[in-house]
Amino acid sequence: MAIIWYRVGFILLSFAVLVAHSAPQNALVSQLPGYSGSFPSKHYSGYVTINEATGKKLFYYLVESEGNPSKDPLVLWLNGGPGCSSFDGFVYEHGPFNFEKTKQGLPKLHLNPYSWSKVSSVLYVDSPAGVGLSYADDTSEYITGDLKTATDSHDFVLKIIILFLCYGIVNVLISATQWFELYPEFLSNPFFIAGESYAGVYVPTLANEVAKGIDAGVKPVINLKGYMVGNGVTDEAFDGNALVPFAHGMGLISDDLYQETTRECNGNFYNPLERSCEEKLQEVDREVDGLNIYDILEPCYHDSAAKDATDIKIRLPSSFLELGATERPLPVRTRLFGRAWPLRANVREGIVPTWPELLSSSDVPCTDDEVATEWLNNEAVRAAINAEPKNVSGDWELCTNRIRFSHDAGSMMKYHRNLTMKGYRALIFSGDHDMCVPFTGSEAWTRAMGYKIVDKWRPWISNGEVAGYTQGYENNLTFLTIKGAGHTVPEYKPTEALNFYSRFLAGKAI
């Protein structure tokens, strides 16, 4: 009895301490090379160990909300690949800084007025281990797939919440599990999971793990509210059938070719059964070949190194290979390689080739990863963000071929069904000028879920202008396009992106 009272006293005491020290001070980022101003909110970063035995660690960077961090939603962000680092989102899309390239090396950082941290805390995670700054001592961990990545990420979520709620002092007194048995509702911030491209697989599979954990009473209880997927890989047939109607609707192929292809393929473009269909599809490929796959309106940045790439297993658009052909200064980042697949090389069951594998080269054309590569491979930056130096965690690459990744979860539609039926809110958004995971596929699969339309197709407005179109379904499933945006929506349309993001998090109509 005495022991019990003693423990309760201890716990109450530690609760008081916890309120003041709820985040790990040794993870606090106090300065960043390239930035001289003050931080608008607190930043934390470091590793969470997923497996002690194999030294498997996932790297995170948490940007606290610049609004009200104790109340605002917490959003976990994932880039795709597989093999691409979530620092893509941090550096190029919706992070707290805009990175300005300089002649002297390290980029200069300026505050990003459209950072998603304006309205939420954002947790960028490099996943799976082997990607970005995440690594494992035992490299057999680098052989992975959809299902293992989802369970590892779930483990990460549980651990980081414990880390941030029970750091230090509390851990000494009682174990984290005990703490959450006593205070199961502690994570009160609404929690969302978001990502784009191959994260169209990561997001629903992780959300499903979290949801199953909640149902099974796993502690800490995560306050999952919903998820967001941008230009996300979802389903072999729907995504594989998306290119031909997209190319036709965008005026990239003729009416004749569209009709002939549709006839020869019988509407099945993703898995051609007839030689005549295959030939028509090759004609379509030739027509769209020179375009920037990530935004058909943008030129493709060409770099001379990859011209000689040989041994390419999957036919690549020549825009990836005819390099050195463009000398125009480019207005925005137009080398956007590595977030998904080349034309029609859509995601199938089994091993998914990484980008460097597809190109037989570590140089990635059509992608400008320069400022991120410069910054994240600088040892002073590594030290400032609590990352291991290069001799421990390896070089940072936008997209790595260090992992061997299997697509083993099949179509994502069954995950979306389960999650939305349980009441989690889903936003499926799509930059409508992306040819990599075209909106036509996302529009078709959301419609094919068979849910009743509750908000009929209509324009949505940002700053008084039509920013795209949306259709809302029952069970809180929303499809949304962003007019004129490419594959990585917030990079092209930061104002509009912050706008729909804020409205979705707040549970408002977009």
Catalytically annotated residues: 197, 434, 487
Q: Which is nearer to ligand NAG, 306 or 409 (CB)?
A: 409
Min separation Cβ 18 and ligand NAG, Å: 29
Cis? peptide before 82, omega within 30° of 0: yes
Q: Which is nearer to ligand NAG, 37 or 410 (CB)?
A: 410
Cis? peptide before 220, omega within 30° of 0: yes
Min separation Cβ 238 and ligand NAG, Å: 17
The tokens of 249 are what? 């609707």
Q: 406: which residues sit within 8 A by CB, 6+ positions away? A: 144, 145, 146, 350, 351, 352
Under DSSP, the state recorded for 1 is -
The values of phi and psi at residue 70, to 5°, are -80, -15
Q: Which residues of 323-361 are buried (b: 16+ CB within 10 A; e: fewer)?
A: beeeeeeeeebbbbbbbbbbbbbbbeeeebbbbbbbbeb
The tokens of 201 are what? 């697989």
The values of phi and psi at residue 466, to 5°, are -70, 120
Under DSSP, the state recorded for 412 is S
Give the Cα separation of 439 and 240 in Å (integer): 12
CA-CA distances (angstroms) from residue 448 to 227, 270, 349, 412, 443?
19, 17, 21, 13, 9
The values of phi and psi at residue 153, to 5°, are -65, -35
Q: Which is nearer to ligand NAG, 208 or 367 (CB)?
A: 208
The tokens of 67 are what? 């609004």
Q: No. of H helices and E strands in the chain?
A: 18, 15
Min separation Cβ 419 and ligand NAG, Å: 9
Residues in a beta bridge with 480:
429, 470
Min separation Cβ 140 and ligand NAG, Å: 20
Q: Which is nearer to ligand NAG, 83 or 190 (CB)?
A: 190
Min separation Cβ 454 and ligand NAG, Å: 9
Min separation Cβ 97 and ligand NAG, Å: 24
Q: Which is nearer to ligand NAG, 13 or 506 (CB)?
A: 506
Give the Cα separation of 447 and 412 in Å (integer): 14
Decide if 355 contacts 364 (C-beta within 8 A): yes
CB neighbour class for 106 (10 Å; exposed up to 12, middle 13-18, buried from 19): middle
Give the Cα separation of 221 and 219 in Å (integer): 5
The angle subtended at Cα 313 by Cα 335 and Cα 396, nearest 5°, is 45
3-state secondary structure at position 38: coil
Give the Cα separation of 312 and 360 in Å (integer): 7
Min separation Cβ 420 and ligand NAG, Å: 8
Q: Which is nearer to ligand NAG, 367 or 476 (CB)?
A: 476
Min separation Cβ 508 and ligand NAG, Å: 9
3-state secondary structure at position 462: strand
Q: Which residues contact ligand NAG by CB under 6 A? A: 208, 379, 389, 391-392, 414-415, 418, 423, 425, 475-476, 507
Amino acid residing at 295: D
Q: Which is nearer to ligand NAG, 394 or 484 (CB)?
A: 394
Q: What DSSP line would sit under 255-280, residue for residue?
A: HHHHHHHHHHHTT--SS--SHHHHHH
Min separation Cβ 206 and ligand NAG, Å: 12
Min separation Cβ 501 and ligand NAG, Å: 15
Q: Which is nearer to ligand NAG, 332 or 454 (CB)?
A: 454
Q: Which is nearer to ligand NAG, 357 or 455 (CB)?
A: 455
